[in-house]
Structure 1
Amino acid sequence: MDSSGQEEDARLAALCNRLGKLWAEQEIEVWEEAAPAEKLEECKQILVGKILSNPSINFQAFQNTLKRAWRTDQVEISQREAGLYVFKFKSEGEKQRILEGGPWLFSSHLIIVKPWVPNTPLHCYDYKICAFWGQVFGLPLERCTENMISRAVSNVRKVLEVKVEAKEGTTLRAGRARVEIKLSEPLKPGKLIRLERKNIWLDFHYERLSHYCYSCGILGHYATYCKDIPFDEAKMGGKDKLYFGQWFRAEVREHSPFW
């Protein structure tokens, strides 16, 4: 380990030591009383959220854009510290429609929205996971079932919902699945399966992707700003050399090089 790594470990150990003393010295005060019933009902109609890369935004433009995208004026949007937002709807049904209709974007930035969680401060919500609709291409006709589509995307993460493509469809798309994506991990380009000794590649295309890195495959930054893999303009020019690319976007209608 180099000297910089040793210094970082030493700082981390010192911080943990100070935090340990702080917790040991603090007496926990137990609050037994319940929150007011009217506040609990109000919170059932609330979504909280943040923008993935936490950019500097025009708040008025942010409100107007979301109201148009959500097709409603019946929402109050307030901005809190650290780029956190509270969205208060007129009904729980309207809130649920917005939650299930995501992901949502503002100027190509991903907006991570979460339902209200009791006894949880805004900054303690889990903003590391977001649900996306993924399209599955390449399944044989006899395999286009909910079970097979769910199995196809099982390597992405938790599967929330599956829809089989209509029989009258004119694409090679087998169906769609709503899956949770861990935002700190690279997007999955697809999956290689074997059916009766025949290898088949399944392509994954994602709907409403925010900007992401063609070098590391992680959402929230471009390849020119990637901290993990240095930007190589020559490599970006050769589609067949890229593991990640524009074909991840469902709107592009282009298959991956693996296809």
Structure 2
Amino acid sequence: MEDDLANLRLCDEEEKAFQEEATVGDQDFRLCLVDRCLTDSVVHFPSLRNTMADVWNPVGGICISDLGDKRHLFQFFHEIDTQRVLLGTPWFFNNHLFILQKVQQREHPSDVLLNFTEF
């Protein structure tokens, strides 16, 4: 059994699905959500990243990036994960409401207006 466990490895596709942070450049944002956490206090990004990845447990994986100004980019790798998160709103982190919006085609995540939530 130990030999079997020693030979376990993530294949390249699995490693890419669980990247720590992606750069927000010229990438495809079709399966991305942007959030803003409604709080005056500091949002601890590593805690948010770990908590939301555990709570959502996406089938296709997730990449979470800090955009600054209490905004985060959630890049999913399967449409069902994006839809499940949107249908599960409202979401909270440390008792503070998230405003989540889907990034529209040809829209940059930093341009997404986060002024309302639908629930």
Distance 2:78 2:57 in 1: 14
Q: What's the CA shift string for 1:138-171, capped at 9, x where partnerless?
A: xxxxxxxxxxxxxxxxxxxxxxxxxxxxxxxxxx
- Structure of higher CA gyration radius: 1
Matched residue, 2:78 = 91
Matched residue, 1:80 = 67
SS at match of 1:48: strand
| Superposition RMSD in Å | 2.0
1:115-134 correspondence runs (5 A)? 115-132=102-119
Q: What's the CA shift string for 1:6-58, capped at 9, x where partnerless?
A: xxxxxxxxxxxxxxxxxxxxxxxxxxxxxx8xx4xx31111111112253022
SS at match of 1:67: helix
Distance 2:50 2:33 in 1: 17
SS at match of 2:86: helix
* Aligned residue pairs, count: 93
Structure 1: gaps spanning 5 or more residues = 1-35, 133-259
User: Given the alignment of the two structures, is residue 48 of structure 1 paired with residue 34 of structure 2, yes or no?
Assistant: yes
Q: Which has the higher contact order (CA 8 A, sep 6+)?
A: 2
Matched residue, 1:71 = 57
CA contact (8 A) 1:49 1:111 kept: yes
Residues 90/108 of structure 1: CA separation in 2 closer, same or farther (3 Å cut) = same
**AA partner of residue 50 (structure 1):** R
Matched residue, 1:7 = none
The alignment's TM-score, normalised by the length of structure 1, stands at 0.33
CA contact (8 A) 2:103 2:109 kept: no
Distance 1:116 1:84 in 2: 13
Distance 2:47 2:35 in 1: 17
Distance 1:124 1:43 in 2: 12
Q: What's the CA shift string for 1:110-132, capped at 9, x where partnerless?
A: 11111112343434322111022
Structure 2: gaps spanning 5 or more residues = 1-25
Distance 1:123 1:72 in 2: 23
The alignment's TM-score, normalised by the length of structure 2, stands at 0.67
